[in-house]
Structure 1
Amino acid sequence: MAIAIATLANTPYQMGNTNPPIMHNAFPALAYDWNAERFTTVLGVGLNGATSVTLALNGAGDSVYLPYGQGEVHSVRLPGPGPAAAGVTCFITAGMSGCRLYVDRVVGTNDIIVYHANSIGVGGGVANPMGMDVEGPGLPQALDNLHALARVYWTTPAPGGPGLNLATIGTLGRNAYNASAVREMQRKVDEGRTQVDFWGGTTVVGELTPAGWQMNWQTYGDVTYVRPASAPKGWIQGQDKAVGNMNYRVLSSRLWFP
């Protein structure tokens, strides 16, 4: 069952992860045949009030899944509306916390290539959660380099590759999807809370419409903190917010492509 992008505004989705067959491997760039990436999705009860998304490989599935790897870039071609789509109406990728997505259009068509890039070795980690919406020094260039490496396969003429003419038309990075998490943490800091931290993630879902692919994202989660005696709050005075009593909710949801 495909995930409807309209539900991202209110339902927090925790994406599962799996390792489907790889079509092309020129580490760190890995590419996939969308026909081998077809899944059905099973929704269930996730952590802290979220909805879990379990993936089942199915040659007739209506969803295409793109995985990720640390220090790697994974990509897949999605056919536009028409017979080539063969029943595929949904795109999903591994949950995001600091990665970047790129979208290229295959010139002259409504087909797109989606890339999931991760650069754990260059500015990938964030020691201070209040900076989780900042791409550290060198990270933007490292991610762009991964995108460029992945494009080599798709643009190489046959027999080495598909020989596609590509135009980059969209990107999505942590500066966009992590901003709401930082705002929520800052709100707690402004209320006098200490040891503030964020737990959650970002889910990206694409939907094939008659006009082409539309991509939306959601950031969901909750904030933990210590409430000092100097910052009481009515009947819960002195109580902290710990991992054990989190309640995930959607903090923001946006259209990012087209």
Structure 2
Amino acid sequence: MPLTDLMFRTTRVASLGVQNAIGVVRPHPAVNGDQRTHAFTHARATLAITPNGGTMNLSIVPDVNGDVVYIPWGLGEIHSVHIPQAELANISLFVTAQMQGCQLVVNKMDDGSYKFHHGNSLQSPTAQDSATRPTFQTPAALTDLTRLSDLGRPLVADPVQIQLTGTLSKADYFAGVQRRLDQKFANGRTGINYARPEHVSFTYVVAFNLGAQWSVWYQTSSQFFYRRPTKAIFRKKVVDPSAGQNIEFIEAREAFRI
């Protein structure tokens, strides 16, 4: 069962599991400072979808002949893969690890190839900002993410240069979460630990190969933590879900085409 944009838009991803096929050990990526570059062959995989009630589980298995490209993430690192133009016809999807503040950068090169990058900054906001301001990144984090993405830029003397760049950041994929929290606050909700309602959110990113372009999609889900005002008609005045409970499918949309 292939993953389609319709499925990604309407069915929540419950988990993304990455496994090694029997006898396959994924080689380590090449290291360039904080950049980890995965060889194209090593990044190839197959994708299996398991329906789970109203959700779906995605399972990535490394496969040198697979039609999916997958890269992980690392603390304070940017993980990258280069998909050669000659191999584009053999790849249908790009998938990366779950995002909660990371940044995806896609570079279309002037030779028709593509470079995908998943960057993570250690310059995190405070616990309060993380809980109540989903789209917020510290200035230091924004600077660090720019530094990381610059590691993937070609040298001026390189024969292949960047033609177009698409970027997906926390401010984009958590925008729906921010709107939901603002709405709850406007309706009199307050947080469990702070004055404003709180959240824990996560985003999955999938890029679909359209042939002449890549269509980059994100899907975001959240847990919300808040107290209702005493005049509320609901019996449950405190919403404080345990891990894995009361996860709301916030939005899934196309971020950009490149």
What TM-score does the superposition give when structure 1 sets the normalisation length?
Answer: 0.83
Q: What pairs up with 1:100-115 in 2 under 5 angstroms?
A: 100-109=103-112, 111-115=113-117
Q: What pairs up with 1:1-258 in 2 under 5 angstroms?
A: 2-13=2-13, 14-17=15-18, 20-44=26-50, 50-80=55-85, 84-85=87-88, 87-109=90-112, 111-120=113-122, 122-123=123-124, 127-128=128-129, 129-151=131-153, 155=155, 164-195=160-191, 196-230=197-231, 232-233=232-233, 236-244=234-242, 245-258=245-258
Over the aligned positions, Cα root-mean-square deviation in angstroms equals: 2.6
1:70-111 Cα offsets, whole Å, 9 max, x none, are 10011111244xx523532100011111111111111132x2
Separation (CA, whole Å) in 2 of partners of 1:69 and 1:124 = 18
Runs of 4 or more off by more than 6 Å in structure 1? none
Q: Secondary structure at the match of 1:7?
A: helix
Deviation of the 1:144 alpha carbon: 0.9
Q: Secondary structure at the match of 2:100?
A: coil
Q: Which amino acid aligns with 1:104?
A: N
C-alpha contact 2:3 2:49 (8 A) present in aligned 1: no
User: How much identity, in percent, do the aligned residues show?
Assistant: 23
Deviation of the 1:67 alpha carbon: 0.8
Partner of 2:23: none
Rate the CA distance shift 1:11–1:184 in 2: closer, same or farther, 3 A: same
Separation (CA, whole Å) in 2 of partners of 1:3 and 1:105 = 23
Separation (CA, whole Å) in 1 of partners of 2:108 and 2:228 = 49
What TM-score does the superposition give when structure 2 sets the normalisation length?
Answer: 0.83
Separation (CA, whole Å) in 1 of partners of 2:218 and 2:143 = 23
Deviation of the 1:41 alpha carbon: 1.8
Q: Secondary structure at the match of 2:152?
A: helix
Deviation of the 1:213 alpha carbon: 1.8
Deviation of the 1:39 alpha carbon: 1.4
Deviation of the 1:124 alpha carbon: 5.3
The count of corresponding residues between Structure 1 and Structure 2 is: 244
